[in-house]
Each structure stands twice: as structure tokens, then as C-alpha cells.
Chains A and B, each alone.
Chain A
Amino acid sequence: MDSLLSAKLLRQLEQFQLLAQRRAKSSARGERRSRSRGQSVEFADYRTYVAGDDFRYLDWNLYGRLERLFVKLYEEERELPVRIFLDASESMTFGQPRKFDFARQVAAAVGYVALCGFDRVSVIAFPDRPEQSVVRGALRSVRGRKSALEFFRNITQLSAGDGVNLNEALRRAALEARQAGVAVVLSDFLDPAGYEKGLEALVGRGFQVNAVQILSPEELNPSTYGDLKLVDAETGSIQEVTFGKYRLKSYQQTVHNFCQRLREFCQSRGIRFFMASSGTPLEQLLLQQLREAEVWG
């Protein structure tokens, strides 16, 4: 746990609660307001008494005034499913510090805030790795603050590798979700096949999507120059480039355009977008960017 988040950061995160923009639709009871009527302290509405209703919910004051029987309805409080989609492809193993390590820390922080808020947390790492099925299965559904320790331990055991189709992975995860909730996608989004369909699938499923793009400092500002033979870690394809300092600005502009395109896509779909370098302090993302964007508060 220490390797993921510091104790100080955990204490700060305990004060936060995920802010849901939509009512919870989960069937399980929780502490989130929902559109369902049930038992709580929050008054919701009246309805005419029908035979069989519980006399304890009759509004006797109203009966005294109108001589008609009405039953008081209360809002049902449900849990908020928080699903964290963690890109565990080969490309996430790059950078110093590694992008995947950074992503795991963010996932742990988001999960911890959700667990503290009595929300159900699911961490879906893709691509699938059979040898990690136990760990990944344990992360499918975690609830309650007391599960945090186990939650952190499992996240720590996650590893990255192999290639992935981001669109396909997100689309399948959207379909598999029984209830929509808050979705946090942690990825570098460097997929030649794109990311649009995957994110659209999450939005279409009703998730409140938060996309966090994580890039390494080397990707933002490369320091290797010369005549290079680039080998794609995921696809194995080889590209020959001649790269010098004089082309650094052009490269940075390319990266900026790529990130800007992703940002504009997210804004058009109501997705909150965050971009972070794996080299920046974790607190800057968690305590500033996410808080200012009212992901939690």
C-alpha cells in the first residue's frame, strides 16, 4: 500500500466523496440518492393509499385536514458503481516513471475515495491475462472501506503487457456492466485503431466517464536523436525516422494536436478529460485537477 499511495495522501483522500452527476441506478442499497422510492429519511412524494400499504407511512395530518388517506414516499438510497478501466497494455510500461505505475496509483486513489463513500468499485484491466485472473477477479467488485487494504494489494499485483484494442476493450466492458455509474478510463490512448468507439460505448451505456490520459515525459519531450529505427512495443512494426533537435518543436506540436483532438472528442461527448505526465506529482492530478473538475469534492 505504501508503494501506491502515501498515508498523508490517503488521509486527504478520505475527506473526498465522488460527486455523481446522475442518480444512482444500482439495485443495491447504498448512500446515493436514486430515483427509486424506498426507505430513507428523504421525503419524495405522496400517493393515494391503496389497500395493503403500510400504515406507518400514512400521513395522518393530511388525513385530518382532507379526510383522505395518503402514503408518504421516501427516496431510496442506492450505491454508486465506480468502474475503473485500467490500460495494462505494453505501451503503458514505458516511461520513467512508468505510465502503468502512475495509472495504478490513480486507480488506487479513485478506488479508495469510492470505497470510503460506500460505493462499489470495479477495476477492469485490459488486455486479459489469464495468469492474473484471480487478482483481476478480486478487483471486479470491491465495496466497503475495510476492503481497501485488499484492494490495494490486488492493484499492486497487476502487471502490464501485450497489445490491446482500446475500442474493443472499452466496448466489451460497457456491455458487461449491469449498472452504469462513474467510469474512469486510465490510458495513454496511443492505439492506432483509435479510442472513439470505446469511449462512445461507455457514454452510450450511461456511464459518467472520466478519461485520464497518461503520457511519459519521454513521449512528451523525447531526448533520443539521430537516424532511428523505431520499434513499436505493441505491434512490433518498424518505422525509420530521422529525428533531430530541430524537429523537436514539430514533434511537440504533433503530441499537442493528438491530445487536443482527444480533449475535443471528450468535451463533445460530455466526458471529463484529464491529461497527466507520469513524471508529475500524483497530488497535482488528484488534489487539484480532479477536485477542480468536481470529480470529487
Chain B
Amino acid sequence: MNFLAPAAIAFAAAIPIVIVFYLLKRKRVVHLVSSTLLWQKFLAETQASSPFQRLRHNWLLILQILVLLLAIFALMRPYLAGEGRTGRLRVAILDASASMMATDVQPNRFEQAKADLEKLIDGLKGNDQLVLLLASAHTEVKQSATTDKVALRRALATCVAMETPTRLAEAFKLAETLVKNRPESEGPEIHLFSDGAASGLDDFQNKNLPLVYHRYGKHSENAGITAIDVRANPANARERALFATIANLSTNARAVELELSFGNDVVETRTVSLSGTNTQPLVFVAPQNQDGVFTLRIKNEDALAADNRASIVSLIPQPARVLLVSRSNRFLEKALRTAPNAELTIVPALAEQPQNFDVVVLDDVSPTVWPAANVLAFHVVNTNLFSSWENAKTPPVVDWKSGHPLLRFVSLDNVQVAETLAIKAPPWGVGLVESPNTPLVVAGELYRRKVVWVGFDILQSTWPLRISFPIFVANAIDWLNPSASRNAELMVRAGEPFRFPIEQPISKAELTTSDGQRRTIPVEPGARELIVGDAYRQGVYRLSAGTNDVTFCVNLLDAAESNLTPREELPFGKYSKVTATAVKRANVELWRWIAAGALAFLLFEWWYYHKRTA
């Protein structure tokens, strides 16, 4: 046996002190009696001239010395060298997403989860280790594996809930790596403290994670804003139309009172009746003569406040300056001219870099220099775009992504194509219109420029004869118009990074958060964009970077978070799930009670002794 703190033997000096206390006589009260004859039986000592007495056999002294020796022994921290059983590893994932801020339980789900997690920490045995992960939009390791309960409690105290969606998959991946190679004897466990509002866990279907799911929440009495967008009013280009989706996540019908404001001015209030578990899209129309922020609020109080407000920056649309490079294409030219908010210029060829154009349309013309602007390309190939290509005859249109902004109100049912360039879907974009062998339309972003690529010559198809063509062209110009996409760029989901391109070198930037706090963001020399990565609270943020001042909005806009229904089961793919534990698994240590009992017994003994002698 060895000792970690052998110097603690110095406490043995306390033993003689205890003995001296027993050698000292107790102070006695002088009492005159008629005769000591009757007191002989109670005689303690015949003579009392010295302050010390003879050390007599006393069980209390022996017990006290014994306890003292044990305490000294413990303070010396003895240990046995050899193979010892390592403690169990537990990985605690604390869901800190917006839904955990729901107040259907008091004070809220997150605080309840923290309280239970603290019990789990208290219940850790001597060698048990715990890793504390805080999962919101990102997973943060609040405390690496440790047996130090003080450090764990300190880390837990710093955990706060955020108004972000849940991304549990990231936390599970991290937890999996921690428990993966642990032997079964150590019994590693992953404890999830969450309401289960998580998706995207299919990757863990066959992982057989040793998961203990602690579920929180009672009901889902909540209504929230799940989507918001602003664009020009199709009926009146001088007005702005704000599209929003309101969801009633409770099973009861409810009337939702909405208030739309532009800046500090209330624009409109509206009461919407929503049946249970239903959503309703809404359109608000408002005149706008300057850039500003629309804010939509739900004025009713419900269980979750984070989804009762959404803001969006609305910029006055600037007309897109479009350069059409075409030998001759009347269909395309006419479609571009009818596109709203576009100023068209036509050139037959592009020999040099075009200046002062927002969108360049390449119609079956390969430019000498690839334009440094957003591009709509028809039947153009370039090694910048694709590594290889070939021709394909009569590719049928089999599918298209009607949900994409480019294909809004576009139907390709009756479009036939005679010939097209067959390519493989590039990494920079997604295929929007598909034929069996090749995508016909690809949209994406390349070198920070947006590109819409159509693989066939429209004159080799029936598309120009369909009504969907001018709609597609208008959608494309709108999508490629930098000023039109600014609105979308100036809104991010809570927890997602906000990126701001830097045109001129700056040394520092200042961010004003939604709660009015200001802080400086360091900028590395030569950086081409500024990233705000910790916008975890929704609201309006203002960024001042050099000569540029930009306002952006952070919103929750997550129907899964707004749905507060506590999930009894956590799905892992189709066939795997974890059920919430009915009993919170947390070992409760008893030593405090035993120590308290021992202390109470000691106090009782002390009281009883004095009661007998007093």
C-alpha cells in the first residue's frame, strides 16, 4: 500500500491533544454539604489540587483516537498498486435548443434538464467519468471526461439555452466516438436530456448506441412563425409583399393575433384563426420607400416565446442590369424584356470582361473570358463548369424541382428537347430539371457567383413556345439579381453563421447584437469575408465593418422546434428507436445521509451526556 499524501501523518499530532483534553479535569462547582458520608458512592476523586487527573480507561477516548487515526489514514490517501477497475464513462448531451426554453414545465424544460443532470453528476461513483456536451445548433464540449464533480457542476452552471434549432446528430457523432471503443465492462452510457425535437438521426440506425433518453415537457400549447420572406408585390411592384407561415402546434384551435411592423411603425395587425395542428400561409402587403426591417410578432402568450417573432430585412429592389450575349434569339430576348425589374443590353459576342452588369446571359455562345457576374447560360460548356460532357438526343423531362425559386410556377410537362449536353451533376450545383441520363438545368454557386445552366439550346426545344419559359427566365433574373438575393442573405437561422463579404481590407468590425450589446469582432489581415458565428439569439443585428453598415436578422423559423410535443420515442431511422426512461437513472449517494446521521448521533450523545450531568 502506498500513500498519495504521506505528509498528512502530521495530523497525528492531534492525538496527544485529545489525550491532554482527557487528562485535564473538568471545572467543578464548589458545593458545601453537611457531610460527605452519603456521597461516598459517587466519589470521583479524593483530592483535587492539580488541574490534571489520572488517565483512566475511557471508551470515548479510545473511540475518538480510533476515529482520528482513520481520518488521518484517509487524509494520507492510501492506494493499492495494481489493476483497478476503471469507472464507467457517461456522456451527457444537454439539449439547449429553443424548444427546451418552453415553459410548459416550471421553470422551463432546460432548467429541469439541468437539475436532473446535476443529480446524475451527484450520483457518479468514485471513478465514474462524465463528459458534458451542450447541443444546440452546434455541439459544444462543456467538459471533457472527468471524475471531478466540482468541475462538472461548474461546467453545467455555464450552460444556457439558445434560440436555435436542434442538431443532435452532431452531438451523437461526438458521443459515439467517445463510447465506441470502450469495453462493455465499463458500461458506457449516453444520457440525452432533451424533449426529442430532433431529426436527421438516421445515420445512427444501426449503431446501437447505449442511449438513455431523459424526456422533458408536458404538452405543446404553442403557435409560432415557421417561415418568412419578403419580395416585391406581384400585383404592384412598388409595394412589398411579406409572406409568412403561422403554425398552430397545439391540438386545440386558437386565434393568433399578429402584428406586422416596419422599423418601429406598426403596419398591420391581424387575427388569424387556426385549427389544431394546422399551418396557414399569410401575405401582408405594405408600401415601402426605403430599406428597413419588417418584424412580425405573435402577440398571444404561449409556451415558447422564441418563435413568436421573426424579422426580415427588406431592401428596395434595384433593377438587374442584364447583358444578353446572343447571336439571335427572339424568344429569349423577348422573355428578358418582359422580365420585371431588368435593364437589358444585347451583344453578339463577349470578348472581354463585361463591366457594370449584374447578370450575363449566354445564349449558345462561349465567351472568351468567363464573366465575373452571375450567369444564365444556355447550351454553353466550359471546363470551369464541367469536367466532361457529350451530346444526348431527345432527352425526356422526367422530373423537376418545383419547390426551387427558379421553377416557381414553372411546369415542364409539355416540353420536348431535341438535343442536349449530357453532363454529370457538378459539385457546385444541383440539378433542377432531370432527364434519365443527365440534368437538363443546373443551378448553383461557383466562385461566389451564381450560375444557372441550361444544357440545351432552347431553339432546339419546344420550351420557348410554352408559358413556362418566360416565367423561368423571370425567375432566373430575379434569382440572379444580386439586389434581390440580398434580402435572403441578410436573414440567417439562429446558430447559423452570417457571412459578409469584405470588398476592402478592414482591421476590425463592430457587432451590435439583438439585445443591444456591442462587441468588436477581430478581422484577420487579408480576410475576404467576415463571419459572425455566434448569433444564437433571434432579433436584428447590426454589423459595422469599415465603411459598410449592414443589418441582418436572426430567426428561429423551425417548425420542428415550434412543435413542443414531447417525443416519447427518439427515432433512429425506420426501425430503430429509443424510448424515454420512465425512471430517471441517477444514482443517489447515501454518504451524506449517513454522515448526517452520524453527526446527529454525536450531537445526541453530547446532549444526553450533558443532560445526565447537568
Q: Smallest distance from the beta carbon of A275 to chain B beta carbons, Å?
A: 14
State whether B28 touches A232 (Cβ < 8 A).
no
Query: Restricting to B17-42, which residues have a CB under 8 Å from any CB of A?
Result: 26-42
Cross-chain pair count, CB within 8 angstroms: 108
**CB atoms of B35 and A91 under 8 A apart:** yes
A240 at the interface (CB under 8 A from B): yes
- Chain A residue contacts of B29, Cβ below 8 A: 224, 226-229
Contact B38 A244, beta carbon cutoff 8 Å: no
**Chain B residues near A93 (CB-CB < 8 A):** 34
Count of chain A residues near B, Cβ 8 A? 41
Asked whether any CB of chain A lies closer than 8 Å to the CB of B45, the reply is yes
Min CB distance A237 to B, Å, is 6
Give chain A nearest CB distance to B144 CB in angstroms. 59
CB contact between A246 and one of B27, B37, B47, B612 (< 8 Å): that residue: B612
- Nearest A residue (CB) for B46: A239
A10 close to chain B: CB less than 8 A: no
Please name all residues of chain B whose beta carbon is closer than 8 Å to the beta carbon of A240 when the two chains form the complex: 28, 43-46, 48
In the assembled complex, the Cα of A239 lies from the Cα of B29 at a distance in Å of 11
Q: Is the CB of B38 within 8 A of A219?
A: yes
For the complex, what is the distance from the CA of A174 to the CA of B26, rounded to whole Å?
A: 48
**Which B33-66 residues sit within 8 Å CB-CB of chain A?**
33-48
Residues of B within 8 A of A237 (CB): 36
Distance of A93 Cα from B33 Cα, bound (Å): 10
Name the contact of B37 in the complex, choosing from A94, A99, A190, A229 (C-beta under 8 A): A190
Contact of B31 among A219, A228, A244 (CB under 8 A): A228
B609 (CB) vs chain A CBs: closest residue: A244
- Rounded to whole Å, the gap between the CB of B608 and the closest CB of chain A is 10
B30–A227 CB distance below 8 A: no
Q: B interface, by DSSP: helix, strand, loop or mixed? A: mixed
Cβ of B614 < 8 Å from any Cβ of A?
yes
- Mark interface residues in B135-167 (1 if CB within 8 Å of A CB, else 0): 000000000000000000000000000000000
Q: Is B613 interfacial (CB-CB < 8 Å)?
A: yes
Give the Cβ gap from B46 to chain A, nearest Cβ, in Å: 7
Tell me, in angstroms, the Cα distance from A188 to B38 when the chains sit together. Answer: 12
Alpha-carbon distance between A90 and B34 when the two chains are bound, in angstroms:
7
Given the known inter-chain contacts A238-B48, A240-B44, A241-B44, please indicate yes or no for A94 contacting B34, CB distance below 8 A: yes
Does A27 reach chain B (CB closer than 8 Å)?
A: no
The CA-CA distance from A192 to B33 in the complex, in Å, is: 14
Distance of A101 from chain B, by nearest CB (Å): 14
Interface hits, A214-262 → B, CB 8 Å? 216, 219, 224-235, 237-247, 250-251, 254-255, 258
Q: Give the nearest-CB partner of B41 in chain A.
A: A254
Q: How far is the CB of B50 from chain A (nearest CB, A)?
A: 12
* CB-defined contacts of B42 to chain A, threshold 8 Å: 241-243, 247, 250-251
Chain B residue at smallest Cβ distance from A95: B34
A255 and B613 in contact (CB under 8 A), knowing A227-B27, A229-B28, A240-B48?
no
Contact of B36 among A99, A224, A232, A245 (CB under 8 A): A232
Question: Which residues in B have their C-beta under 8 angstroms from that of A192?
Answer: 35, 37
Judging by beta carbons under 8 Å apart, are B39 and A225 in contact? no
Known A-B contacts A229-B48, A238-B47, A239-B43; the reply to A224 vs B38 at CB < 8 A is no
Residues of A close to B32: CB separation below 8 A: 230-231, 233
A216 touches B46 (CB 8 A): no
Which residues 74-89 of A have a CB within 8 angstroms of B? none
Inside 8 A of A188's CB, which chain B residues have their CB?
34-35
Q: Which of B558-614 contact A (CB under 8 A)?
A: 611-614
Q: How far is the CA of A239 from the CA of B40 in the complex (A)?
A: 8
Most chain A CB within a 10 A radius of its CB, from B33, B36, B44:
B33
Residues in A whose Cβ lies below 8 Å from that of B28: 226-229, 240
Contacts of B39 on A, CB cut-off 8 Å? 230, 239, 241, 243, 251
**B37 smallest CB distance to A (angstroms):** 5
A247: which B residues are within 8 A, CB to CB? 42
Offer 17 A-B interface pairs, CB within 8 angstroms, sorted by A: A94-B33, A191-B35, A192-B37, A225-B613, A229-B30, A231-B32, A232-B33, A239-B36, A240-B28, A240-B43, A242-B44, A244-B612, A244-B613, A245-B611, A247-B42, A254-B41, A258-B38
Binding site for A on B (CB under 8 A): 26-48, 611-614
Other CB < 8 Å A-B pairs besides A190-B34, A243-B613, 5 of them?
Answer: A95-B34, A192-B37, A227-B27, A230-B32, A240-B28
